[in-house]
């Protein structure tokens, strides 16, 4: 997976700065200024409502189940890759699976991280249909680390509507250097939306790493202030030091049965290449049981000392009823 991460980083670093055309370009790309509310009113609503809506969405996203297929195209080499992720979760358990469907496999073609109420673990496959291998088993400190890694994987799949390039919107706005320059009501694909122009100048050494240095966010207040489009001025570390990169993110959503926006498609593009993710996520149906998040669900033995309560089979109840 290290080679994949370096390849994606090279894609990010391939961009060049277009220049200070953010606001004008937005208006030329099918968005006209709306007059339903004054710009000052939109600014107040954005600052008051958006962060709370993003946090609410993050809580909702913990019920999502499904998969995401991501295609990568590197312009400099013409190389293409296809990866697939799958998420499964309930109140106490989580599972994140990452598959290299097309592209170079450095170590494992499939990585699976999961946790339940008693332990966490990581499995791997050398080929897509190979046997499962136990890579890590979480005990004590490593159990917490594996659980966190699993949650980060799940969140990266489900958070497209509330994420800029790399950073969650609530974390981006919460930066001490984040400053709102201008807020305008705009029409975007027939919906009344809001365009927020911002600056966020900060050193690359800041942790956690936040590449977004400034740009424009187009948000939909009717869909939990989810992201529709972003034109971002990012900064990454290149061979000769910090490098500015112009990036465009487009997110398509649908309204689920819960009333929340569900990601359908996300595109990240710069001069280095294009990353396109297509989602098949659902917010309905039966919640997966805890036994689906155990080693035995993959035909592997449970850890020593771990025992699960076995439900009484229905026919035993019938037998007891017959005796009575």
pLDDT of amino acid 106:
85
Comparing C-alpha atoms, which of 206, 202, 196, 204 is closest to residue 169?
Answer: 196
Q: Report the alpha-carbon distance of residue 157 to residue 152 in Å, rounded.
A: 9
- Cβ density class 194-224: b for 16+ within 10 Å, e for less: bbbbbebeeeeeeeeebbbbbbbbbbbbebb
How does pLDDT run across 193-204, given as a tens digit for each residue? Answer: 999 999 999 998
pLDDT of amino acid 87:
98
Contact 180, 195 (CB under 8 A): no
Domains of the chain listed by start with CATH number = 2-282 (2.50.20)
Token duo for residue 317: 């109840």
pLDDT of amino acid 5:
38
Pairing of strands 65-74, 273-282: antiparallel
For the chain (324 residues), the mean pLDDT of every run of 10, in chain order, is 40 39 49 55 96 97 97 95 98 97 93 95 96 85 86 96 98 98 95 97 93 98 98 92 94 95 97 96 91 96 86 52 52
pLDDT of amino acid 163:
98
pLDDT of amino acid 37:
62
pLDDT of amino acid 19:
37
pLDDT of amino acid 137:
84
Distances (CA, A) of 253 to 56, 141, 232, 290: 17, 38, 20, 30
pLDDT of amino acid 35:
42
DSSP-derived secondary structure for 234-259: EEEEETTEEEEEEEEEEEEEEE-TTS
Torsion of CA 132, 281, 232, 228, to 10 degrees: 170
pLDDT of amino acid 11:
44
């Amino acid at each position: 997976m290290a080679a994949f991460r370096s390849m994606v980083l090279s894609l990010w670093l391939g961009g060049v700065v277009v220049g200070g055309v953010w606001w004008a370009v937005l208006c030329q790309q099918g968005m006209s200024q709306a007059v339903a509310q004054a710009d000052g009113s939109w600014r107040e609503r954005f600052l008051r409502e958006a962060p709370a809506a993003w946090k609410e969405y993050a809580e909702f996203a913990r019920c999502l189940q499904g998969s995401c297929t991501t295609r990568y195209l590197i312009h400099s080499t013409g190389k293409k890759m296809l990866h697939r992720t799958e998420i499964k979760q309930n109140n106490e358990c989580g599972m994140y699976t990452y598959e290299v469907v097309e592209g170079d496999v450095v170590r494992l073609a499939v990585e699976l991280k999961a946790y339940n109420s008693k332990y966490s673990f990581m499995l791997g496959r050398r080929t897509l249909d190979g046997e499962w291998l136990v890579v890590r088993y979480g005990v004590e400190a490593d159990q917490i680390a594996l659980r966190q890694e699993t949650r980060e994987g799940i969140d990266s799949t489900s958070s497209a509507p509330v994420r800029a390039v790399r950073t969650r919107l609530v974390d981006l706005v919460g930066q001490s250097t984040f400053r709102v320059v201008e807020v305008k009501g705009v029409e975007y694909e027939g919906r009344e939306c809001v365009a927020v122009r911002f600056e966020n100048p900060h050193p690359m050494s800041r942790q956690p790493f936040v590449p977004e240095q400034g740009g424009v966010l187009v948000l939909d207040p009717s869909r939990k202030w989810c992201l529709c489009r972003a034109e971002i001025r990012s900064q990454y570390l290149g061979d000769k030091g910090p490098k500015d990169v112009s990036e465009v993110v487009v997110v398509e959503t649908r309204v689920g049965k819960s009333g929340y926006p569900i990601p359908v498609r996300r595109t990240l593009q710069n001069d280095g290449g294009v990353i396109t993710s297509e989602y098949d996520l659902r917010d309905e149906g039966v919640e997966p049981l805890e036994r689906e998040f155990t080693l035995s669900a993959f035909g592997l033995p449970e850890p020593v000392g771990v025992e699960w309560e076995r439900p009484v089979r229905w026919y035993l109840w019938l037998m007891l009823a017959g005796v009575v």
